[in-house]
Amino acid sequence: MATTCDMAALERECKRGLKALSDDVVLKRFKDCWHLLLDTESVPKSGTNANAKEVALDILYGDSRLTAPLRRYRDVVGAALFVENALDIVIAAAERKRDAAKAENAARKDGRDRAGEGIHAAFHYMLVDRRLMIKRVCMHLRNGERADDKTLHALPHDPTWPNVRERKRAAIARELETMSDEDDDGFGPIKQGKPVPEGGKLIDY
């Protein structure tokens, strides 16, 4: 478990590290880490959170090579530590991106969202609206909670980027829709022609 002093030091380091980067890089680094958590369907039930801080620092400085789903508990906790400590800096960056896109659209005066204002606004709104929930989930993870419903499954989704569970649900829905168009034998419904009139003959080709 990270101590209060450890968390304060990590928060200061996150602020220093991220403020030196452009908003685009900050948002990309955060989203990549965010989706490591969103695309991990279950918290590993074994392992410890030893070296989780080092995992968070690797993410902060762009040295991480982690891919989803996360297999080690320390990687899940490390990603959560980065998200928790970077969140307020990322919210400010997302707000600036939204405002810049809004200004760019206004300057074009064609009524179209060419700058991605809607996407930036949706992401910023999610972060602000669900800030406390995100912080709570990260706190649970760094304090040793492993129940999925209190941690990974409680994270709000990214409105700009579907996670693995959403992609699976969409795939299942498409499959069910396809199956509903088929008969029990797996083939589509057979088209029947007009009935043979009385006294008529079937032609055997």
d(CA 108, CA 141): 45
Q: Retrieve residue 162's tokens.
A: 């579907």
Counting beta carbons within 10 angstroms of the beta carbon of residue 127, is it exposed (0 to 12), middle (13 to 18) or buried (19 or more)?
Answer: buried
Residue 201 in any domain: the answer is no
Domain extent for 89: 4-160
Residue 174 in any domain: the answer is no
d(CA 46, CA 37): 17
Please give the pLDDT value at position 122.
Answer: 95
First to last CA, the chain: 79
199 φ/ψ sector (left φ>0, alpha ψ -120 to 50, else beta): left
Residue 15 in any domain: the answer is yes
Residue 61 in any domain: the answer is yes
Give per-residue pLDDT as tens, 162-196: 776 666 766 677 777 777 665 555 556 555 666 66
> Quick check: 40 and 77 in contact, CB under 8 A?
no
> Quick check: 50 and 72 in contact, CB under 8 A?
no
Residue 198 in any domain: the answer is no
Residue 68 in any domain: the answer is yes
Residue 145 in any domain: the answer is yes
Residue 11 in any domain: the answer is yes
Give per-residue pLDDT as tens, 24-76: 999 999 999 999 999 999 999 999 999 999 999 999 999 999 999 999 999 99
Q: How many domains does the chain have?
A: 1
Please give the pLDDT value at position 205.
Answer: 46
Residues near 150 by beta carbon (within 8 Å), at least 6 away in sequence: 137, 140
